Amino acid sequence: MSNCLAIEEYLAACLGKEVILDVRSPNEFEQGHIPGAINFPLFSNEERAEVGTIYKKIGKDKAIERGLEIVGPKLSSFVVDAKKLAVNNTVFIYCWRGGMRSGSLAWLLEMSGLNVVRLSGGYKSFRNYVLNSFQTKHSLLILGGKTGSGKTIVLEELEKLGAAVLNLEKLANHKGSAFGAIGEKPQPTQEQFENELFAQLQSLPKNKPIWVEDESRLIGKKIIPLGLWEQMRESPILYLELPVEERANYLVNEYGKYGKDVLIQSIEKITARLGSEQAKESIDAINNNDLKTACLNTLRYYDKTYLHGLNKRENKNILKIEFDNFELSSICKLLIEKEKEIYERI
């Protein structure tokens, strides 16, 4: 009989370490899955819909019969494929509720000689665990700064230097502004964004503060879970202060490699907020290959927006650190020094 573990034991045993097979349909998997899992569906999307319809209209017994008819010809391929994927002759599997789909496959794979570990309560128990986890308290350090301060690059460098970093924009596939989708993959579903966020938090050391970029709650179309968001709003902010010319130069280097049409479309998205005259001036500048002028124009809007949000924070623990230019190693060195000072106090 397969080993069946509750969610905490299951994740401790497999997350980031073992082969996890998600036996739900491709549509279910795409909507959300345990990070690192491989889709190993018993039914295609169409087959699952057919069995579900029979269950609702005729009954459970007929649905099971049809399910067996569908799965029967696939049994040998399930065994062959699972053995190819298994590590140390072991696989971890789950379905939606930890019921018939994972139970049936576990029986088959064990009969073939594999060690199988099932998730009690299935993916549903994982999702409940994920959502509850965002109430867990963390020691956060918020990296702030106006648009163009290079916060994302600073976070990436801090991570290389051994700091604990939660990169929300990387998880969301979005840089967080009207220009944020440029050069990024499509955003994940909200459900999968939360799953990946949970897994990232789980992987970070517990004895260090976690660096997080200062964000609005919405990153593109993805929403930061409320529990984590509230903690971010209450945590100390280390605010990078760089001259506007330096920030404009940074943005030219960041976005100048993309086509004019993409940049103009992004300007058009915020025309109402920039003002029609300023938006037109920015678009004309892009068409004339004067990206710096376009950046300076848009920064006037983004700077006001960012400072307005900063002033509304209840927590006034904001440490401003001024730099004359964007010198990555100097910025990171000072931030690591400040991390030690702040962490000793919290």
CA distances from 251 to 111, 166, 260, 306 (A): 59, 22, 14, 16
* Both structure tokens of 272: 């109402």
CA 239 to chain centre: 24
d(CA 37, CA 16): 9
Long-range CB pairs of 334-343, under 8 A, 24+ apart, other chains included: 335/143, 335/154, 335/158, 335/238, 336/158, 336/161, 336/163, 338/238, 339/141, 339/163, 339/209, 339/211, 342/141, 342/209, 342/236, 342/238, 343/139, 343/141, 343/208, 343/209
The verdict on whether 95 is a catalytic residue reads yes
**Residue-by-residue DSSP string for 271-301:** HHHH-HHHHHHHHHHHHTT-HHHHHHHHHHH
CA distance 24 to 16: 20
Q: Write down the catalytic residue from 14, 95, 295, 332.
A: 95
Q: Which amino acids are annotated catalytic?
A: 95
